Amino acid sequence: MPDTHISPEMASAVGTELGRVVSFPVSASDIRRWAIAVYWPEPPPARFLDEVVASKTPQGGLVAPEDFNPFAWAVAESGERPEADDIDPDRTEILAGIQGPGLKNQLNGGMEAEYGALMRPGDVITSVNRIAGYREREGRLGLMLFTISEDTWTNSDDEMVKKTRQTLIRY
């Protein structure tokens, strides 16, 4: 049983960018379609459909629901990344261009989200995903590796729109 799964190379990769994606400008139609879909079968609140109603809200205009995904249909720009199988337990390290720990099993350890500025028509959203950290813990099946990745979305004014932290558990 190894003392650690975290190699010096992995420890120094914390903060490494794993991917970057840029959306097309958010449209009022995108916001309306998203609201209709997520509130279905109920009608969405008028503030997501009607610009006159939206202009009278505290936000002062049409804004997207917080769970709106500007990357759902297509992206304007996506950085080149190394080829990595979505189910490969070493995918994170492959994207970072380093050697992974070679563990065979993985599971989702959860996700947390923090919301900032609201998305509005015309916003271009940039998503940057990075390795946020590694930690370990002994479990029933041996030493477990917890990998935290952080995806930060910013708008055209460089304001944080959304930040998610996802934990991957490998053993």
Going by their DSSP bridges, the two strands 17-22 and 77-78 should be labelled as antiparallel
- SS3 state of residue 54: helix
**E strand or H helix that includes residue 146:** strand 142-154
Q: What is the DSSP letter of 155?
A: -
Q: Report which residue type is found at 35.
A: A
**Cβ-Cβ contacts under 8 Å for 8 (sequence gap 6 or more):** none
Spatial contact of 84 and 151, defined as CB atoms under 8 Å apart: no
What is the pLDDT tens value at each position of the chain, 171 positions in all?
A: 579 999 999 999 999 999 999 999 999 999 999 999 999 999 888 888 877 777 777 777 889 999 999 999 899 999 877 777 888 999 999 999 999 999 999 999 999 999 999 999 999 999 999 999 999 999 998 999 999 999 999 999 999 999 999 999 999
Q: Report which residue type is found at 107.
A: L
Q: How high is the pLDDT of residue 1?
A: 59
Q: Report which residue type is found at 39.
A: Y
Nearest-Å Rg of the Cα atoms of the chain is 19
- SS3 state of residue 9: helix
Sequence spans of domains, the chain: 8-25+77-170, 27-69
Spatial contact of 17 and 128, defined as CB atoms under 8 Å apart: yes
The Cα–Cα gap between 121 and 34 comes to 13
CATH class of the domain whose range is 8-25+77-170? alpha beta
Return the C-alpha torsion angle 115, 118, 119, 124, nearest 10. Answer: -70
The Cα–Cα gap between 63 and 119 comes to 6
* Residue 83 token pair: 């080829």
Query: What separation in angstroms does the CA of 121 have from each of 26, 46, 92, 137?
Result: 5, 16, 33, 45
